[in-house]
Structures are given as C-alpha cells and as structure tokens.
Amino acid sequence: MTSTLISRTVYKLCYLYTPCRTYGKNVLRRKPIRVLNVPEDGVRLLRDDTFDESKQLAKISPEMQQNHLTTEVTKEKKIIVPPYEKLQKNDARFTKTLAMIKNRKRREKSGLILLEGKRLINDAIGVGIEMKTLYFSREEDLAAIKIKDPENVELHKVFYKTLSLWSELETSPGVMGIFKRPSADDLNVLSDPAIPVTVICDNIRDPGNLGSVIRNAAAAGCENILMLKGCVDPWETKVLRAGCGGHFRIPFVYDIEWNHIYNYIPKDSKIFIADNSVDIDIGSSTSEFISFDETDENSEDMRYVTFNEHNQPLFVDESYSEPTELEKFEDINLPCHLYTSIKYPRKNIILYVGGETHGVDPRIVKLACDYGGRKVKIPLENEMDSLNSSFAMTIVLYEIKRQMKEEYVLKQ
C-alpha cells in the first residue's frame, strides 16, 4: 500500500515539473504594448548635418548617379496646366454628353464626334479640327494635349473610373475629347493624291474593318472614299480608333444612295471590282479595257435631277432601285484578271470593295457595265477563299501605285 502511494506521488511530481506547452483560449492574442516617450536628446538622426551626399554618390556607379539626379529633378518639376473644372462623380453634364455621342442620330444632329487617346486628339488638333470639350483624369494627360486655344475649350477633370465606364476600349486612356465633326473643306490634306483612285465601300459593317480601309487609303494616297448606305458610321468611336487619324487625311462621303452614285464618279472612269469568288479569265490576255454597250437606250428616261440639302443639283438614277432592271445583271459575268496583269489607267480609277459576307452587289455590276470595268482577283493559297476587305484593297492600291511609279521613273 505504501509503495503504491509513493509511486503515485512521484508520478504527480513528474507531471507537474515536465515542460509541456498548453494553449488557452486567448493565449495567441496580442496584448497592447505601452510605448514610453523618448526624449528628443536621446534620438539619433540617420542623416545629420555632417552627412555629405556627394561623398556617398561617389561610391556608386555613374549610371546610378544619373538615375538619382533625374529622380530629384522629376520630383521638383511642376506640371503647368490651364485652369479646369473638377466634376463630381454623378455630374449630369458628362453623362448626358457621352450618351448623346453614343447615339448615332443624336450625334449626327449635334455635329459632334468623340476621340479617345492623346495621340488621336493631338492629330485632330494638328489638322485644325475644332475641339469643344476635353475630359481627363490626371493633370499629366491634360499637359500632354496640345490645346491651341484653351480659353474656348471646356476642360473637365473626371474620375478615371467614370471615364472607364463610358470608354469603348478595354483599358481607357484616361482622356476624351469632344470635337466638331469636320467637313471635306476642313480637312488638311498634307500632300496631293499619289494615285488617281476613288474607293467605293459597300456593306462594310465592321468598325475595325472600315477604320482600316480609311487608314490604308489615306496612306496609299487615294483621292477620296465613297461609302454607300449600309456601311457602319465612319464617325463611330471604334472606327475613329482603327483609322488612326486617317479620317483627317483623306476626303470621304458617307451614306450615299445607289441612285446618287453617278454624282460622285467622273464619266470617263473605269471600275475595278475586287472579287475572289470567281476564276481568272485565262483566255483573255489583253490589257485593253472592255466597254459594255448592252445597256438600254431608254435608260436615260429613268434619270432626273433633284437638289440636296445644300441646294446643289443631284443626279438620280431610279434604275438602281428597280428589281427587274437589276435582274439583268445578276447573270452577267464580268471578265476577271489577276490584279498584277492589268495595266491600270492614268486617271479616274474606281476600286470597289464590298463586305466579306455579302459578296458583289448586282448594282456594282450594272455600274461596271455602264462605265466599262472588270473584276480583279488576288491569288490565295491553302484553300483560303477570301481576304479581309481592307487587306484586299491595300494590295490592289499598292500595285496601282507601283505601276504609276515605274512609268514615272521610265519617263525620267
């Protein structure tokens, strides 16, 4: 009995003195620590009066010294911007203006367009387009805009989040400009047309595609662009973005009715239709142009003259609206040639570019028969049946430009 009590007592003593970590309910919770105020005399400055910065800079490399000096200059440099007004988060002036610009009918009625990004805005200002309002989120963005007359422009600072909600881009550039829509007389064409080409756009409904057409036609040096009704609005934000300033470098007319197309094409023009859906006419190797005389002699009876909103005479041909008249041209097969095997004329070239899904309209076939024209084809590989409209147009344009340049060099 006694040995049993002794063993139990020893066990309890061992248990009490054995190091064992136990966790209570609030053991790991940190308790506030009281910090005593240290007298100022006891504080040692990391950078006292004896610190010599020049000696410290001498110990580092010249590249790091230059970066250090540049950082110091940047910190001291102040941004100078004209006076502006800071809009509140729910200011109706910003939301109403953007809602109006996004609606095509209201946008056309107001005569305003929206440009996003510093580069596009500066391009418009550089060619003399009148700016009405500028919205920005940072003063750095405002300073980067080359405003010629800030007193006549409304400058508003807007929250970046608000700008992003109304932006058409995945990442908003943080600056938006409201401009007056320019007319053909307002455009500042920097050089004369390099090639005598007028581009006709039909049923191009993709904004990026039409923007590329405008950009590439301006880069190639075309005379102008005619956009038939059915194309996307060229002043839409996405089209302007894809155009990269081409809207301000080449004249164009949009929303043209087929009945009025004769008003924009010279009488001695030649029509070329970019079409990859037909085979090349191998039997016809001549480079002379083909004239079509199958048109009805009484077709002039269907034409008359009216006046547009500017009181200018407008030639109208109702035959382009007659289904029975257009049926005659559905089965007409215009000669098709490789785009490099044609000797293009020296003036009044009309290049037709249609939508990728709709194909060639019978009305352009009728126009080609009236003026004399043909189809051109770009050879494709790997069983691809079509090209992007802007790419196909650009390939043909630069072939025309190559021929014009070669003839000029030979004459010299």
pLDDT tens for each residue of 295-335: 344 444 444 444 455 555 555 666 777 777 777 777 777 88
Q: In what order do the strands lie in the sheet with 131-136?
A: 85-86, 154-157, 131-136, 175-180, 112-116
CA quadruple 324, 329, 332, 333: dihedral sign: negative
Work out the angle at residue 58's Cα, subtended by the Cα atoms of residues 52 and 63, and round it to the nearest 5 degrees.
130
- Residue identified by tokens 């550039």 is 173
- Digitized pLDDT (tens) for each residue of the chain, 412 residues in all: 556 666 666 555 555 555 555 555 555 566 666 655 555 555 555 555 555 555 555 555 565 555 554 444 444 456 778 888 898 887 888 989 999 988 888 988 888 999 998 999 998 888 888 899 999 998 888 988 888 888 889 999 999 998 988 888 888 889 999 999 887 666 666 567 788 999 999 988 888 999 999 999 999 989 999 999 889 999 988 899 899 888 888 888 888 888 888 888 888 888 898 887 666 665 444 444 443 333 344 444 444 444 455 555 555 666 777 777 777 777 777 888 888 888 898 888 999 998 766 667 788 888 888 887 888 888 888 878 778 888 989 999 999 999 888 764 444 4
Pick the CATH number of 85-181 from 3.40.309.10, 3.30.1330.30, 3.20.110.20, 3.30.300.130: 3.30.1330.30
113 phi/psi in degrees, rounded to 5: -135, 160
Pick the CATH number of 185-277+300-410 from 2.60.40.420, 3.30.420.10, 3.40.50.170, 3.40.1280.10: 3.40.1280.10
pTM flag (> 0.85) = no
| Distance of alpha carbon 131 from alpha carbon 124, whole angstroms | 8
Q: Which amino acid makes up residue 148?
A: K
User: What would the two tokens of residue 7 be?
Assistant: 């063993």
E strand or H helix at 365 = helix 362-371
| Distance of alpha carbon 141 from alpha carbon 118, whole angstroms | 7
284 phi/psi in degrees, rounded to 5: -95, 105
Q: Which amino acid makes up residue 350?
A: I
Q: In what order do the strands lie in the sheet with 349-354?
A: 252-256, 224-228, 197-202, 349-354, 270-274, 373-377, 336-338
Question: Is residue 273 within 8 Å of residue 373, measured between CB atoms?
Answer: yes
Beta strand segments in 237-327, E: 252-256, 270-274, 303-307, 313-317
255 — alpha (psi -120 to 50), left (phi > 0) or beta? left
pLDDT tens per residue across span 117-174: 899 999 888 888 889 999 999 888 898 888 888 888 999 999 999 898 888 888 888 9
Question: Is residue 314 within 8 Å of residue 260, measured between CB atoms?
Answer: yes
The domain ranges of the chain are 85-181, 185-277+300-410
| Distance of alpha carbon 237 from alpha carbon 30, whole angstroms | 57
